[in-house]
Amino acid sequence: MPKPTFFNLPAQKRERIIEAAIDEFATHPFHQARVTAIAEQAGIAMGSFYQYFEDKKDLYKHLMELLVEKKLSYINSDMIKNKGKYSFFQLLREVYLSGFRFAKENQRLLPIGMMLANDKELYQEIYGEHEDRSAEFFRDLLEYGKEQGEIDPAIDMKVVAKLLTGMTFSLTDFIWEDGKLDLDDMEIIDKMLYFIENGLKKKE
């Protein structure tokens, strides 16, 4: 979490630091990203950087928090508009479509999280809390489906919420290939939803 001195800065200066951090972390893996480059681009002294953040990881975590909040704003706005109007499975599709929309409209931000793919320990440290929030979100959505009579009441909500969270993160692997985004194949969402709704067992 940034120090209070960071939040006391004028908004324009805070934005300048964040923009410099996005440029550096989107083009370099975490361990190769340089605080000196961020400070130079933001127009601040190195000493000032450490008045605002404990270290590079502190800044990175803050950046990821901003990214997650922005993505959630897409999903939550669509949820508010569509809950009660759609069935559970239609609503789930809208959630995944919101993720695609976020990806299309914020392509500059996506490499920041993808750069963690090869560092499992850091990935878990950074994403662990956000995965819990995501699982809680899906659990609430599943409860809605259960109330609507669309979800088997025998399923374990906690387990399925975890699985849906994992599938959300896996979806990124399909649209991010060789360092490039493939946001045209929307069929992947319907393929995932077919599996979620119908399972693996062959129908008689």
48-59: per-residue pLDDT in tens?
999 999 999 999
Domain count, the chain: 2
> How does pLDDT run across 57-87, given as a tens digit for each residue?
999 999 988 888 888 887 776 666 667 778 8
For residues 44 and 86, membership in a common domain is answered with no
Q: Which of 35, 54, 73 is the last residue of a domain?
A: 54
In a domain, 84, yes or no: yes
The beta-carbon contacts of 4-11 under 8 Å, at least 24 apart in sequence, are 5/51, 5/52, 6/52, 6/53, 9/52
How many residues in total does the chain contain? 204
Query: How sure is the predictor about 8, in pLDDT bands with cuts at 50, 70 and 90?
Result: very high
The reply to whether 1 falls in a domain is: yes
- Pair 140, 79 in one domain: yes
* Residue 203 forms part of a structural domain: no
Tell me the H-state helices in 83-156: 88-105, 110-114, 120-147
Shared domain check, 21 and 91: no
Same domain, 44 and 97: no
Residue 142 domain boundaries: 61-198
- Domain identity same for 49 and 76: no
Contact 160, 154 (CB under 8 A): no
The residue-averaged pLDDT of 124-149 equals 83
pLDDT at 119 over 60: yes
The pTM score is 0.78
Does residue 164 share a domain with residue 65?
A: yes
Same domain, 14 and 111: no
Residues 87 and 29 in one domain: no
24 & 77 share domain: no
Verify that 130 and 145 share a domain, yes or no: yes
Query: Residues 37, 74: one domain?
Result: no
Look at residues 39, 54, 69 and tell me which one is the last residue of a structural domain.
54
Specify the CATH number for the domain of residue 34: 1.10.10.60
Q: 94: which 2 tokens? A: 């809208």
Find the CATH number of the domain harbouring 76: 1.10.357.10
Same-domain status, 95 and 42: no
**184-198: pLDDT as tens digits:** 666 778 888 888 888
